[in-house]
Structure 1
Amino acid sequence: MTYRDRFEAVYDAYYPAIHQYAARRTGSPDDAADVISETFLTAWRRIGDVPEGEEALLWLYGVARRVLANQQRGASRRAALTERLRAELAADRPAGSVDLDHVRAAFDALSERDREVLALACWEDLTGQQIAKVLKCTPIVARTRLHRARKRMAAALERQTSMTVAMGEA
């Protein structure tokens, strides 16, 4: 029997059991699929170490158990890193700074046309002349559109701030 035949026999015989094992111990189908694939990848790489008969299932359970432990350690590390970054960003935010969620909400409330001209100016750091080339208009029209979009953005930010203050007082 070739290594491939041996692996296929193990896979066919024990996939349902490993699937159930992983599904009962993970929070999502994606996590279960990761456990299953890592378990059988290990079996493929180490097919010479996989015992015969029912012992193969026990060996696969052991591999799946270690894969789950690694997965959980990784999730814990990511959660700790996320929390640490959140705390650092909160500490770095200057007093009285604008909440980025408010800026995003105000930006999203603008028309597509206003968002585009503001994005070209702010995110891409283009000049009025360059914006005109991108938008295929004259520089005067581009500067006018940018000026008006900035005014509408300021008004949208003011509305967002007013709504936040009103909600906070409610």
Structure 2
Amino acid sequence: MPRDAPASAPEDSVTRFEALYDTCYGDVLGYLLRRLDHPEAAADLVADVFVTVWNRIGDVPPAPQARPWVFGVARRVLANHRRGARRGNALAARLRLELGAAAVSRPDWEDQAVADIGRVFRTLSDKDQEVLTLAAWEALDPGQIAVVLGCARGTARVRLHRARGRFARALRGAGLDVASCLPPEPPPAARRTPKGALR
């Protein structure tokens, strides 16, 4: 039974989902792996596919058409992912242009630390930079990041967690003490303050 299946789910729906999952999981994962550059993206998307299948279990056609129907779901999930990636790449490019053109006021901590952090930050992948900037600069939570990226909330949460880990490892690898070179975490109310509001 799927972990988040409601207790009231009809037994035949659960049995049907489990049969579809057992029959199609490997094929759907292969379909996504052949179309994506990163295996972790395929793993994220195959989870999204089967969440959709579970949510629409009543719409799944009978046996001969069930497998192609699941592939149709995978195709739409992949198309949504690609649209989200294009939007994300466009956002990252626009952000780089804006940052290059804008005069950024320095916080109270040392300019050298800011330069070092920026240098390390730019070594991260575009996807990691994007999810970190959405969380840190735009003060978006994982649900809001998921909307921006066009993915599930859980997927956004995992991407953010992994990106934070890679950034921390990159900072340590560059000989920077993560705790001393990052500003203190603002209280939750300060992080939620709208852009135009006075602090």
For Structure 1 versus Structure 2, the TM-score category normalised by the shorter chain is 0.5 to 0.7
Looking at structure 2, the residues matched to 7 and 62 of structure 1 have their Cα atoms a distance apart, in angstroms, of 16
1:16-53 deviation line (CA, Å, top 9, x unaligned): 21111111111111111122111111110111111121
Corresponding residue for 2:115?
Answer: 103
**2: CA distance, partners of 1:111 / 1:19:** 39
Counterpart amino acid of residue 9 in structure 1: A
Counterpart in the other structure of 2:126: none
Match of 2:62 among 32, 52, 63: 52
Flag as ranges the 4+ runs of structure 1 deviating above 4 A: 99-102, 108-112
The alignment's C-alpha RMSD in Å is 3.3
The yes-or-no answer on 1:43 pairing with 2:53 is: yes
SS of the residue corresponding to residue 25 of structure 1 reads coil
2:99 to 89, 92, 96: 89
Q: Which consecutive residues of structure 2, in runs of 5 or more, have no partner in the other structure?
A: 1-10, 105-110, 118-170, 185-199
Does residue 14 (structure 1) correspond to residue 24 (structure 2)? The answer is yes
Alignment of structure 1 residues 129-148 onto 2, 5 Å: none
The AA in structure 1 aligned to 2:14 is R
Structure 1 portions without partners, runs of 5+: 125-170
Work out the percentage of aligned pairs sharing the same amino acid: 44
What is the CA-CA distance between 1:93 and the residue it aligns to?
A: 3.5
- Shift of residue 54 of structure 1? 2.7
Superposition TM-score, scaled by structure 2 size: 0.49
How many residue pairs align between the two structures?
113
1:111-169: CA deviations, max 9, x gaps?
A: 97xx95xx69xx56xxxxxxxxxxxxxxxxxxxxxxxxxxxxxxxxxxxxxxxxxxxxx
CA deviation string 1:92-119 (max 9, x = no partner): 138xxxx9788328xx99997xx95xx6
Structure showing the higher helix proportion among its residues: 1
Task: Say which one has the larger Rg.
Answer: 1
Task: Provide Cα deviations, 1:32-78, integer angstroms capped at 9, x if missing partner.
Answer: 11221111111101111111213111101110000001000111111
